[in-house]
A and B are shown apart, each in its own frame.
Chain A
Amino acid sequence: MNTLEILFYALSVFAIVSAIMVLVSKNPIHSVLWLILVFFAISGHYILLNAQFLAIVNIIVYAGAIMVLFLFVIMLMNVQSDKEPQKKLLIKFIGVLSGGSLLTLLIALVKQTAQLEGKQVLMKEGTIGLIHPLGKALFNDYVLPFEISSVLFLSAMVGAVIIGKK
């Protein structure tokens, strides 16, 4: 096993354990904190793929901004596990079943994609995740989808302001 593989497996175990802890934690604050660790593990994977820019943006946007807002809202609502109504066992069981079947479906889809068959992941090389190639790709090849998604964000912002004014 080389260093890269050791890092890959360590990060994967870290990500999966944290993701499971998000689900099994009774306290919503703990869930949010475990979710932050999941984002860090995923950023680690990005770095293994030599996508430094994506790794750091993942941390800034998800771990740094969105999760702070999550934490903010949960702290303000002061949700406590013992006061919350507990779901019935049957509903929990159905939830696990439907979530599991969705996961199976997604994995089956990814496995059957013809483009991915027999391909290997580029580790530690490849430049598409670095900032210059990514910027060139976004503003040359994908400029229209990029601008349209920014308009989408703008409309979301305007919507938030209007709801906030009411």
Chain B
Amino acid sequence: MTILALDWGFIVEKLIMIAIVVFASLGIALYTTFGERKVAAILQDRPGPSRAGPFGLLQPLADGLKLIMKEEIIPNAANKWLFILGPGLAMTASLMTCAVIPWGSAIDVFGRHVELQIADVNIGILYVFAVVSMGVYGIMIGGWASNNKFSLMSALRAASQAISYELAMGLALIALLMSTGSLSLKTIVEQQVQGNWWNVVYQPLGFLIFFITAMAECNRTPFDLPEAENELNFGYHQEYSSMKLGFYLFAEYINMIMSSAIMASMYFGGYDLPFFNEASVAPNIAAMIGVGTLLIKIVLFIFLFMWIRWTIPRFRYDQLMGLGWKTLIPLALFNMLLTGALILAKL
């Protein structure tokens, strides 16, 4: 059936994949909040949430229900439309990243060859970078529209932090792109599946810089200056209540999942399971093993994020800027030059 000369089967296939990926991300994010509380509890030697359901497993559902049931307050002096737009933008920007992540190799369903990736654009990494730079609008608009001094201060902090760390992130990415020669995430992962080593072996310094900047872009402790409680009360979401606050908190967790997926794909082989020959099992099973591998890598990265959050205290603002501009950017430039020199020497 062709209306408007479109392949409708293709559109249905993509819509199903978008639905699966979005709902899976939301589900994982829900349980990441639970994971965060448990990890914090273990690190601080206390039991953590344990009342709702077995081992407290129903806690995230209870939290979600509580957030939805809370009264929704929009301050009188707030800019109403932008106040509502802010959390929505934060959520959209964090979910948009999942479009270019390759979740696995292809599977065959009902005679269709389905790639486990929503869009294999040849500028995948730049797309991620663009979405990351959009992410700050949710915070800025929400902070400004609240019409609260603390929220505004926090929005400005978030913006300057995001811009400063984007530079180092971009420079770290350029070094990786120089060695892979492709901007498509699918190609980068396939190179690692076929090659001997994961990219982290070729780009250890680049990975370190990317990891730190990713943490800063996600506003995770030790970089959570925009919501520093002791200086700004609660930061940009101070005036928010109910599910709008929930959206802001949730967006942070989804950002964390997406940046873990990006790091796993770019530096740690994506859906590549080491020491395992994918050709030895049926393609569909191999693809499912690949998806599982990527999910495990994502979980490990999320654990690393949490471990750091509950270990290292927050930076002071000048330390944050100093680290970004005086340490990470020169290091990233050095890494870029080094990579260039090594590529030239190999030729």
Interface residues in chain A, defined as those with a beta carbon under 8 Å from any beta carbon in chain B: 2-3, 6, 27, 29, 33, 36, 52-53, 56-57, 59-60, 63-65, 68-69, 71-72, 75-76, 130-131
Please give, as numbers and ranges, the residues of chain B lying within 8 Å of A131 by CB-CB distance: 122-123, 183
Please give, as numbers and ranges, the residues of chain B lying within 8 Å of A72 by CB-CB distance: 140, 156, 159-160
Query: Are A2 and B133 within 8 A (Cβ)?
Result: no
Query: Are A52 and B121 within 8 A (Cβ)?
Result: yes
- Inter-chain CB contacts under 8 Å: number: 67
Q: Which of A3, A27, A60, A71 contacts B6 (CB 8 A)?
A: A3
Q: Is B144 an interface residue (CB 8 A)?
A: yes
Query: Are A75 and B126 within 8 A (Cβ)?
Result: no
Interface extent on B, as a size class?
A: 20 to 34
Please give, as numbers and ranges, the residues of chain A lying within 8 Å of B121 by CB-CB distance: 52
Q: Which of A53, A63, A75 contacts B155 (CB 8 A)?
A: A75
Query: Are B5 and A3 within 8 A (Cβ)?
Result: yes
User: What is the distance, in angstroms, from A69's C-beta to the closest C-beta of chain B?
Assistant: 8
Contacts A56-B123, A131-B183 given; indicate if A63 touches B156 (C-beta within 8 A).
no
User: What is the distance, in angstroms, from A18's C-beta to the closest C-beta of chain B?
Assistant: 15
Q: A27-B79, A68-B162 are in contact. List 7 more A-B contacts (CB 8 A).
A: A29-B144, A57-B126, A68-B159, A72-B140, A75-B156, A76-B156, A131-B123
10 contacts between A and B (CB under 8 A): A29-B82, A33-B82, A36-B137, A52-B123, A60-B133, A64-B133, A65-B163, A68-B133, A75-B144, A76-B156
Please give, as numbers and ranges, the residues of chain A lying within 8 Å of B156 by CB-CB distance: 72, 75-76
CA distance A30 to B201 in the complex (A): 47
User: What is the distance, in angstroms, from B136's C-beta to the closest C-beta of chain A?
Assistant: 6
Q: Is B17 an interface residue (CB 8 A)?
A: no
CA distance A112 to B337 in the complex (A): 48
Q: Which residue of A lies closest to B127 (CB)?
A: A56
Q: Which residue of B lies closest to A58 (CB)?
A: B130
Query: Are A3 and B4 within 8 A (Cβ)?
Result: yes
Q: Which residue of B lies closest to A56 (CB)?
A: B126
Convert B56-87 into 0s and 1s, putting 1 for each residue whose CB lies closer than 8 angstroms to a CB of A.
Answer: 00000000000000000000000100100000
Please give, as numbers and ranges, the residues of chain A lying within 8 Å of B140 by CB-CB distance: 68, 71-72, 75
Q: Is B152 an interface residue (CB 8 A)?
A: yes
